Amino acid sequence: MASHIVGYPRMGPKRELKFALESFWDKKSSAEDLQKVAADLRSSIWKQMSDAGIKYIPSNTFSYYDQVLDATSMLGAVPPRYGWNGGEIGFDTYFSMARGNASVPAMEMTKWFDTNYHFIVPELGPDVNFSYASHKAVDEYKEAKALGVNTVPVLIGPVSYLLLSKPAKGVEKTFSLLSLLPKILPIYKEVISELKAAGASWIQFDEPTLVLDLDSHKLQAFTAAYDDLESTLSGLNVLIETYFADLTAEAYKTLIGLKGVTAYGLDLVRGAQTLDLVKSNFPKGKYLFAGVVDGRNIWANDLAASFSTLKELEAVVGKENLVVSTSCSLLHTAVDLVNETKLDDEIKSWLAFAAQKVVEVNALAKALAGQKDEAFFSANAAAQASRKSSPRVTNEAVQKAAAALKGSDHRRATNVSARLDAQQKKLNLPILPTTTIGSFPQTLELRRVRREFKANKISEDDYIKAIKEEIKKVVDLQEELDIDVLVHGEPERNDMVEYFGEQLSGFAFTVNGWVQSYGSRCVKPPIIYGDVSRPKPMTVFWSSTAQSMTARPMKGMLTGPVTILNWSFVRNDQPRFETCYQIALAIKDEVEDLEKAGINVIQIDEAALREGLPLRKSEHAFYLKWAVHSFRITNCGVQDTTQIHTHMCYSNFNDIIHSIIDMDADVITIENSRSDEKLLSVFREGVKYGAGIGPGVYDIHSPRIPSTEEIADRINKMLAVLETNILWVNPDCGLKTRKYAEVKPALNNMVAAAKLLRTQLASAK
């Protein structure tokens, strides 16, 4: 019985790639140094899977930034602004597309389906001259082969690549991206031919867009693409991999009808209903790569349940045609539980990171082949039973409080217009008020202080003194820049979700449970294993300290319940909305304590609200109902004069704008500039927004410093569709990842642009 892994984490167990990338970007190391780190990581990953007994090991799932950008490079689809003149795409062009450079901005970045991973959105149009410009897929296959590992090269499928793209600037929004299929398929044919010549016997095309709600025209594109590729694919075994949701009956019919395809990879964790489609109709002689091991969460697999599912499938597809697989790439999980030295043994026994999931996949494959490891299965069953019965999982008081939420929609008593009037009387802000999103640069010295405090190398008094000094520096800088509503810069926080999770009950934390979010950015998601409550105030001390340093309004900074949920590894033994309501009650306690402490502006970030939107439209309404309700719970008890902000970033918000309005926040700051001001189109189309709104005026994920004129131009575009009295001026997102040398001039230009517009508006009266 065979086993397969869809993909594997790239950063390394100790974030080796992250540090190599940042060293290269800072010009502290060479391209050769970066390539050496990458090659060592790839080698260790392939060896690990080979040693574990995995038969179908992927290659070309490693990336220096993201796999969609790799496909863009392979196809030579470089936007003209990057000045690429053909030939093999090198690091300069590649990273300019991802991060921008001194003269041109980066390409748009957005969420990968409903995960916290991001990808760089291809910009395409009728005039793009596609060419085979990156041989990475073939090079990595050969690299693995030289190490004695015959891999399955993985490519983003041609149809998914186009469906994940957008029309380039200047191209009509109605342009059919699928019309480019005949132009990109010749490049795919070149890559396939080279892989065949190099000795590949299998190839994997990731076509995850098959799980979306696709019309017949889009489904027909899959049929057309693989019809065209059929002769080139002859002699290869072809796997089409889908993940993240169920397939519709129409999509499943399209999938199993594709020509030249040998095998189908299906997510049977998030796509459980797909099982019924397989059982009712599976093509004879084809392989099923059954994704029964969860690639998106860190709970140990219920091996007995998975084994039972696989036995059912074996009866349908045949023993020799069933391959045990992960539900999706393991990119979305932490790397290796072995590196966790501080998790207690009970919780640790409930978990499986990527390395452990590889072992689970192989154990299930061996069990199907009649070589069941009874001791391994027995230990797994004991861990499953321990988790179900552990008293630390359940808190009856929390469950009772969450149950009592039903029956109310938890809206503030006064409408937003009246609240804004009351807040303006108290805050006395100018038109086009300026603010930032929360975090300021995290310097090496600041990270050292936090690290040493956690390691008990400095006292709590010394730690508090150092953090207070950092807050004072950030407050003074904002006053010097003449920003209107200040933040304390979050120097006490390494990560916005981790910080709150550490102070809430029901959470556990890892030492090295890092997961890639984009590029070199890694996050360490908390693990929600039990009922959630807030034992004591979490941010009141720091917010009050910061407010005491200035007469200007100081924002209290909180992470919202939906974002804490979506950016954590969430318990899978109760519905997600129940956990979210518990978190909302904990944040509500914090909001009310901040208000009592004299904080008049409180930001409750919901950066990940859109990210959690189910992939199928039929499930949108239910999710949005409980997600928006959870946000309203957090602030339903505050006074009219307390201004509630929220923040969202790096997703497509236009299709949920009415739910955003229904959140009933006083002010929303929202990413706008990196996505080519796509957000503004919804207001051009007539959506009325009566609360305060701050569409981002510059992209903080690029080192580029925008000019005053550029920012003023952006604000003018906003004023064309939004009322002057509701518009705020702010960056796209927090400033944590930037350097002060970039932040100071960028914010200076932002404030100057706001003042310039105020003067122009005043003189126009």
Which residues line the annotated binding site for 5-methyltetrahydropteroyltri-L-glutamate?
18, 116, 521-522, 567
Is the alpha carbon torsion for 399, 403, 409, 410 positive or negative? Answer: negative
User: Pick from 187, 221, 228, 195: which is nearest to 207 by CA?
Assistant: 221
**Length of the chain in terms of residues written:** 765
Residue 433, judged by CB atoms within 10 A of its CB (0-12, 13-18, 19+), counts as buried
Characterize 712-742 residue by residue with b for buried, 16 or more Cβ atoms within 10 angstroms of its Cβ, and e for exposed: bebbebbeebbeeebbbbbbbbbbbbbeeeb
Between the alpha carbon of residue 59 and those of residues 207, 519, 558, the distances in Å are 16, 19, 40
Query: Rounded to an integer, what distance in angstroms lies between the CA atom of residue 116 and that of residue 606?
Result: 13
**DSSP, res 434:** B
Q: For 24-117, list the strands marked E by DSSP.
A: 58-59, 109-111
Query: Rounded to an integer, what distance in angstroms lies between the CA atom of residue 566 and that of residue 575?
Result: 13
Query: Rounded to an integer, what distance in angstroms lies between the CA atom of residue 746 and that of residue 743?
Result: 5
Contacts of residue 32, defined as CB under 8 A and 6 or more positions apart, other chains included, come to none
**DSSP, res 292:** E
DSSP H or E stretch at residue 578: helix 576-596
Contacts of residue 551, defined as CB under 8 A and 6 or more positions apart, other chains included, come to none
Amino acid at 671: E
Characterize 197-226 residue by residue with b for buried, 16 or more Cβ atoms within 10 angstroms of its Cβ, and e for exposed: eeebebbbbbbbbbbbebeeebbebbebbb
Tokens 């001259």 identify what position?
129
Longest distance between any two alpha carbons in the chain, whole Å: 83
The yes-or-no answer on residue 620 being catalytic is no
* Catalytic one of 4, 332, 488, 701: 701
Q: Any bridge partners for residue 533, and if so which?
A: 505
Q: Any bridge partners for residue 109, and if so which?
A: 120
**DSSP, res 116:** S
Amino acid at 748: N
Tokens linked to 742: 């970039």
Tokens linked to 445: 């010295």
Q: Are 522 and 514 in contact (CB under 8 A)?
A: yes
Query: Rounded to an integer, what distance in angstroms lies between the CA atom of residue 29 and that of residue 336?
Result: 27
Q: Are 668 and 435 in contact (CB under 8 A)?
A: no
In this structure, the number of other CB atoms found within 10 A of the CB of residue 686 comes to: 7
Q: What is the set of active-site residues?
A: 701
